[in-house]
Amino acid sequence: MDLENLFRDILKNYSAYEPGEQPEEDGWIKLHTNENAFPPIPEVIKDIKDAIQEGDLIRKYPDSLGLEVRKAILNQLLRDKDTLTNRNTVFIGNGSDEILDVIFKVFINSGDEVVMFYPTYGLYKVIATLYDAKISEIKLNEDFTPPESIFNQKGKLMLINSPNNPNGKSFNNDVILKICNTFSGIVVVDEAYAEFSDYTCLSLLKKVNNLIVIRSFSKGFSLASLRIGYALADATIIKEMNNVKLPYNTNIIGQIAALSSIKHRVKIYEQNKKIVEERKILTEKLENFNGISVEPSDANFIFVKFDDKSTTLKFLWDLKDLKILVKHFSKPGLYNYLRITIGTKEENERFFKAFSDIAAKYL
């Protein structure tokens, strides 16, 4: 039997999302997947260990709706933020990636128009393709600000990533509010990197009902592997998201780790401050080289532009030879850039030394 013939038509021209390389041997510096530079703090690790030892917790299904986590998100994590307060306005998912998928499940019929920016997080296009959406890409300006045309868009969903991966710039709230008021459908703002930024659009949720804000425990709370993300939106939307999600989408260890991270958030935020300081230090040091420039970033990564495209690849490969991974996108308009995740002080220093040695050859 020709098995491929049985696949959905949509898969004929489908390119899967390519997850970042995870080298198995020691000695690599991973500055290509925007993970948090630090492991979870000891208090969170202890709560995870205790939970694993509690065999009964593992034996049983977790709370399907993650009520404890939802309550803690609203009553503790976002307590000081000017945003929604009813627990029916928060959803938890298996990372923000799953939340994106659930949003498509709720809103997208085959052929519906989904508006997204270029460049942005690659998974948006992959999911839109899987749901057979019509994709409209709006090219960001040269400095990664949105063009005026964003206020004349029609469609079912608009996906905004703020700060935007790969360049790191946030969208300002006036722009997001104006989009919500002019767009014909749902506006999703993915704030996966919010913990490294001074900006958030959470307060807009009280002003418009067509906005969904997605956040993650992967980056700002170092829990990428445990897969917990959350979304805030009007209760009508959250209810439907809970109706269509798979029953046990988040696991108990992830839920406990998220609860513990919320409890110890002040200490975690202090740790994140080091990443923000290191972002500033590395940006300033790199700006001193001729032939490159660094985009301003609100996230835990920076986007470095090389005047010369061929130099960009030489840096990529020479860094890899020195066991340092950074991210290059082989896509129009992005060939001259490398995205570099901010590591620990030691990692950034090793990166900078390697970068300087390579620069002596090519810049």
Ligand X SMILES: Cc1ncc(COP(=O)(O)O)c(C=O)c1O
Q: Which residues bind to ligand X, rule: CB under 6 A?
A: 34, 95-97, 121, 161, 165, 190, 192, 216, 218, 224, 229
Shorter beta-carbon distance to ligand X: residue 165 or 261: 165
Minimum distance of ligand X from residue 216's CB (angstroms): 3
In the block, which residue shows the tokens 């290509």?
Answer: 32
Is the distance from CB of 128 to CB of 114 less than 8 angstroms?
yes
Is the distance from CB of 336 to CB of 313 less than 8 angstroms?
no
Minimum distance of ligand X from residue 281's CB (angstroms): 23
Distance of CA 120 to the CA centre of its chain: 10
Shorter beta-carbon distance to ligand X: residue 193 or 358: 193
Shorter beta-carbon distance to ligand X: residue 212 or 358: 212
Minimum distance of ligand X from residue 334's CB (angstroms): 15
The CA dihedral of 24, 29, 34, 36, to the nearest 10 degrees, is 90
Dist CA 215 CA 200 (whole Å): 10
- How does DSSP classify residue 327? B
Minimum distance of ligand X from residue 94's CB (angstroms): 8
Shorter beta-carbon distance to ligand X: residue 103 or 354: 103
Minimum distance of ligand X from residue 298's CB (angstroms): 12
Minimum distance of ligand X from residue 121's CB (angstroms): 4
Quickly count: other Cβ atoms within 10 Å of residue 230's Cβ. Answer: 24
Q: Which residue is nearest to ligand X (CB)?
A: 95
Angle at 142 between CA 141 and CA 148, to 5 degrees: 15
Shorter beta-carbon distance to ligand X: residue 223 or 358: 223
Shorter beta-carbon distance to ligand X: residue 116 or 252: 116
Alpha helices in the chain (DSSP H): 42-53, 55-59, 67-72, 95-107, 123-130, 173-182, 235-244, 252-263, 265-287, 309-321, 345-362
Q: Which two tokens stand for residue 325?
A: 């991974």
